Chains A and B, each alone.
Chain A
Amino acid sequence: MDFAFSAEQDALRTTARRYLTDRLPLSRVAELADSDAGWDVASWPELTALGWLDEELGPVDHAVVFEEAGYSLYPGPLFASLALARPAGYRGAEPATLAFADPGRPATLAGTAETTCRAERYGEGWRLTGRKTFVPDLLGAAHAVVLAAAEEGPGCWLVDLRAGGATLRPLSTRDRTRRLGELILSGTPATPVVPAAETARVFADVRRAARAALACEAVGVAQRCLDLALDHARNRKQFGRPIGSYQAIAHRLADVYTSVALARSLAYWASWCVAERDAAADSAAAAAGAAASDAAVLAAEAAVQTFGGAGFTWDSPLHRFYRRAQWIAAFDGGPRNQRAGIAAMLLD
């Protein structure tokens, strides 16, 4: 049993922290969040140069990257590319995403049989027709892996979003650093990437990878909220004393620390289980996902309260972390769905 990261992984973390702090400080993230694009497109080749998109990186390496991306609230299609498109069959270093949800259908990764998006043969190739919604980072992606149903059953096809055959509509999203979009396909040319026989297995992989990644990201979000709150609690004085000396503040932050400590352990464990295809991977990813998203929401709410009025402003970075925490809590059914999966494992 060894819980430690390797020297390479530690180095990856140090470089990631330095790059994100220098290149995308919170002031810059705020600017980007309020911009039309929502992210700095020029950051992508930089991430590529840093090696974050390397095929050789495994889930434990990704754990480091996602935790740091959450800590700095990196706006850009990193999660969509590495934890959704890649496990769904996308090979490549350009930004990509996964379009799995259909309007009016459950927006979870479990509903592959439900899709109403159609895939048809067209000469040598394929065409897709239908609508996909809640697509993460759609507007930042160059490619989308699309869940659609052919005669053989549901499978995945790759659509080149820059080729002009599809309509991309941004959805007005609470988290301005990870926007959702609607993808309208009308006979759009596409390349098959996952055959019907593989779809169930692939989506189980996607779900595990996505949950582990979001768990690590949520740990980063929670840790940053805690760090911001602690810094304020040490320095802000009221009644002649730092507010952090009052137990009502200190004890709440101690509870946040405890939640983050447990969530972090689960997130790393889950990432390792996913990497090793361990028998516990599904439950580990569900446990980590639920605990970390709860911890992130708890931390963000405690941080807002610790800052008082200053925490309630648009200028404070806290609402951006809070929105991300809530984004994570709503994705793929969130903690409720994850606990339901664990209950089935324990009780059925």
Chain B
Amino acid sequence: MDFRDSPEEAVFRADLRAWLAVNLPADWSDRQPNVGRYDVAFAREWTAMLHAGGWTGLSWPVKYGGRGLPLTYQGIYLEECARADAPDHIGPIGLAMAGPTILTVGTPAQKQRHLPKILTGEEIFCQGFSEPESGSDLASLRTRAERDGEDFVVNGQKIWSSYAEIADWCILLTRSEPTSSRHSGLTYLLLDMTSPGVEVRPLRQMTGDPEFNEIFFTDVRVPAANVLGAVGGGWQVAMTTLLHERGTLGFALTVILEKLLNRLIATARTVQLDGRCPAADPLMRDRIAGLWIDLQGLRYTNYRALSALLRTGAPGPEGSAAKLHWSEANQRLTSLAIEMMGAGGLLDGTDAWWGGFWSYAQLRSRGNTIEAGTSEILRTIIAERVLDLPRSR
């Protein structure tokens, strides 16, 4: 057991820290149109800088534009980004879901075609899994893909698709055998979002921002070369994606929580509650400390899972637990921020503290226990697959 960086890791960390100090514009978070929200223009600019600096695809193979380093380096990268309060790469779905899935099951041509561009930010991916009638019960999905010569023809609808409004590509789960049911007869496609017949309609979230979308498909032709994995084997490929989503997500989520906790501490020192700083209120202090404990618990659980992964080659079962705990910690944190502002918590936008940062963050956090597997579904996964309890269905 040793939590220190190896000499190589220490050099990497120092280089990255120095690079961030020079390259990260000090005012990036304040010059956004709405503080704390996703800013596409800046995210593109920043992604290009990250890529030029050699900080993307740290654990991806060198021949696809990565650096071929152990996953530990990705952890260091995310920690240092949290420390510097640096923004994210523009393509999280490509980096954490599409990319790893293509790496695992893709053809050499698909790897060559997509992986380098995911890293540069030239190809932004979205995920088309959920449908109006198929959410938690993903295997009931109905979007059709019918073989026609060298193409598949796609008809149907996806919903809640984040980043579809800016995406160049979509990882799309379809039913390719019309008479099939459940997990069989599904096919996983890489779909070019500029194809004729694709229509994206934004949906406003409870925050007021349109950050996810409906996608309608009308006779959209997808070349058979864009099938990822086997025709009819889409479920297995989708499980690879979700394993990666829940497996490698831990570090990224912890970083989000760390940045927010730093912000919470700054807020606690700045605002007034009942005529004093929340930082001096024993009840607030107790809850802030509790969140710090949550954060450290998540961080070291990520490390423990990573250690197991590096030793055994298989991700440990902690991934689902980390997502579950993170989402609820994030909700507690953002609600505490609103509470500590007292009447100030009633405000949003320009009159609110830091441009309404907490108003947005608190409302957005309610999505955390729904997206990437609802908390109920995650608890069932833990119960059945980790704790070996009898199936509920």
Contacts and interface: CB of A to CB of B under 8 A. Distances in A.
Interface of A: 1-6, 60, 230, 233-234, 241-242, 244-247, 249-251, 253-255, 257-258, 261-266, 268-269, 272-273, 278, 283-284, 287, 290-291, 336, 339-343, 346-347
A5 B1 CA distance: 6
A303 to B, nearest CB: 13
Interface in B234-283: 265, 268-269, 279, 282
B292 A346 contact: yes
Contacts of B285: 339-340, 343, 347
Contacts of A230: 387-389
B79 to A, nearest CB: 10
B330 to A, nearest CB: 15
B3 A254 contact: no
A340 B284 CA distance: 10
Nearest to A336: B286
Given A1-B75, A247-B376, A262-B325, A340 B390 contact: no
Interface string B10-51: 000000000000000000000000000000000000000000
A245 B392 contact: yes
* B interface majority secondary structure: helix
Nearest 7 A/B pairs, CB to CB: A262-B297, A3-B307, A343-B285, A250-B383, A265-B300, A339-B289, A244-B389
B288 A247 contact: no
A214 to B, nearest CB: 15
A328 B225 CA distance: 61
Given A254-B379, A261-B321, A347-B285, 17 more contacts: A2-B1, A3-B304, A4-B311, A230-B389, A241-B390, A244-B389, A250-B387, A254-B380, A257-B321, A263-B297, A265-B301, A283-B296, A346-B265, A346-B288, A346-B289, A346-B292, A347-B279
Contacts of A263: 297
A176 B106 CA distance: 61
Given A287-B293, A339-B290, A343-B285, A250 B379 contact: yes
B5 interface: yes
Contact of A245 (B268, B282, B389): B389
B307 A1 contact: yes
Contact of B389 (A4, A5, A233, A264): A233
A268 B91 CA distance: 35
